[in-house]
């Protein structure tokens, strides 16, 4: 199959390497932002040669960001070319437009590498929902935050030192805001929930909190209490729609999530008949993500002509019935008057409260994390 590759960075370079010497695949064009002598005549700087080439059946987008990626992907779909992307920011922001374009033009749109890196979670989710009704999806979906929290927990290291190590190893970007503040997790949660429930959630309606404010003192208090902090994405069916939230959470040190090491991910899907099924593996990286991109390409070569679901019904995010106790560390406890159930290290634990209520108070907090309900019932109820 003749394909065009948009982007030649970490993932794009991985795709290029993995296809070298494979006679079944011909990378005809590589759209790149700068001169790449090693690509020879394949290198282009605009979409025109790609769109004009009738032999190019599939476009692989690994540029990242929303613009110009959206324009390129939309143009490829309108030209009747299949698209594979690993771009969660693009897919979360333009989910409706891109899935509709794929359907209208009878081509495939796949983005397995956008959630879980090397874990084929979206394709597994697609298989589950063929025969079962999905009740919830959840898990650790960001390798950068897990690397930071895992090392802080195991070593007692400070946040800034571990972040610097993550950047040196390539696990964190020079500007790590999307990871640390929860944006990356929320974008992946949009895709997981949309596919799981056949809906279309608005990214900005999903409350999120990040890990930027966590300290070694917080982590030490959690460890002493038998808890481990992890950054989690959670979505489930509710009577009023779908509940969805991206935030740090304190889980028992015996929980499977507590054992997820370094930059790995663990994602679960719970079906009405299937029960819980978990997927573990590399959450990011050159080759793990490139492998999932190429698996999508191979599915298309084998005849796949669709997205993971045909449904994308607009749906409100309804967290009003989702109640959780929270660990809170803040310089001003007055907004939580009457809500404090007890102390934990440098902070306190609230009584169970609606998720939207807590997130309305977050701007005045230094760090917050949802607390395991069983732990709360044992120690604070």
Q: CA dihedral defined by 69, 74, 75, 76, rounded to 10 degrees?
A: 90
Annotated catalytic residue within 2, 88, 188, 334: 188
Q: Is 188 a catalytic residue?
A: yes
What's the gap between Cα 292 and its chain centre? 14
312: its two tokens: 């994308």
Identify whether 223 is preceded by a cis peptide bond (ω within 30 of 0).
no
Q: Length of the chain in residues, anyone?
A: 381
The DSSP code sequence of 159-184 is HHHHHHHHHHTTSS-SS-HHHHTSHH
List the one residue out of 151, 161, 152, 146 whose CA is nearest residue 263: 146
By three-state DSSP, how is residue 322 classified? coil
Question: CB count, 10 Å around CB of 24?
Answer: 9
**Rounded Cα–Cα distance for residues 262 and 148 (Å):** 7
On whether the CB atoms of residues 168 and 151 are closer than 8 A, the answer is: no
Is 353:373 a contact under the CB 8 Å cutoff? no
- Token readout for 362 is 């977050």
Q: What is the DSSP string of 24-59?
A: T-EEEEEE-SS--GGGGGGEESSSHHHHH-TT--EE
Q: Which of 180, 183, 171, 203 is nearest to 283 (CA)?
A: 171
CA gap 105, 107 in Å, rounded: 6
Rounded Cα–Cα distance for residues 56 and 41 (Å): 16
Catalytic residue annotation:
188
């Amino acid at each position: 199959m003749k394909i065009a590759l948009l982007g030649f960075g970490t993932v794009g370079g991985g795709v290029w390497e993995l296809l070298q010497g494979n006679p079944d695949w011909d990378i005809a064009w590589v759209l790149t932002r700068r001169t790449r002598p090693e690509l020879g005549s394949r290198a282009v700087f605009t979409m025109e040669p790609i769109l004009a080439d009738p032999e190019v059946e599939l476009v692989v987008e690994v540029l990242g960001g929303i613009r110009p990626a959206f324009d390129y992907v939309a143009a490829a779909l309108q030209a009747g070319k299949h698209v594979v992307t690993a771009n969660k920011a693009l897919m979360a922001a333009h989910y409706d437009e891109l899935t509709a374009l794929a359907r209208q033009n009878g081509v495939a749109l796949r983005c397995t590498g956008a959630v879980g890196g090397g874990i084929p979670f979206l394709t597994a989710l697609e298989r589950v929902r063929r025969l079962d009704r999905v009740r919830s999806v959840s898990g650790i979906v960001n390798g950068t935050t897990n690397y930071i929290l895992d090392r802080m927990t195991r070593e007692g290291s400070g946040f800034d030192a571990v972040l610097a190590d993550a950047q040196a190893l390539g696990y964190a970007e020079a500007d790590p805001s999307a990871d640390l503040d929860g944006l990356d997790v929320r974008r992946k949660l949009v895709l997981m929930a949309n596919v799981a429930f056949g809906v279309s959630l608005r990214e900005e309606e999903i409350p999120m909190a990040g890990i930027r404010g966590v300290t070694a003192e917080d982590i030490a208090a959690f460890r002493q209490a038998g808890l481990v902090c992890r950054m989690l994405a959670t979505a489930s069916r509710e009577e009023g729609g779908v509940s969805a939230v991206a935030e740090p959470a304190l889980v028992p040190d015996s929980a499977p999530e507590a054992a997820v090491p370094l930059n790995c991910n663990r994602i679960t899907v719970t079906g009405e008949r299937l029960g819980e099924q978990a997927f573990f593996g590399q959450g990011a990286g050159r080759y793990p993500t490139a492998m999932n991109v190429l698996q999508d390409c191979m599915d298309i070569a084998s005849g796949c002509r669709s997205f993971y679901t045909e449904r994308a019904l607009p749906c409100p995010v309804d967290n009003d019935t989702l109640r959780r106790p929270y660990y809170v560390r803040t310089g001003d406890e007055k907004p939580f008057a009457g809500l404090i159930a007890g102390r934990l290290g440098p902070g306190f634990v609230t009584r169970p409260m609606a998720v939207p209520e807590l997130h309305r108070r977050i701007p005045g907090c230094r760090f917050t994390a949802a607390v395991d309900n069983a732990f709360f019932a044992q120690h604070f109820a």
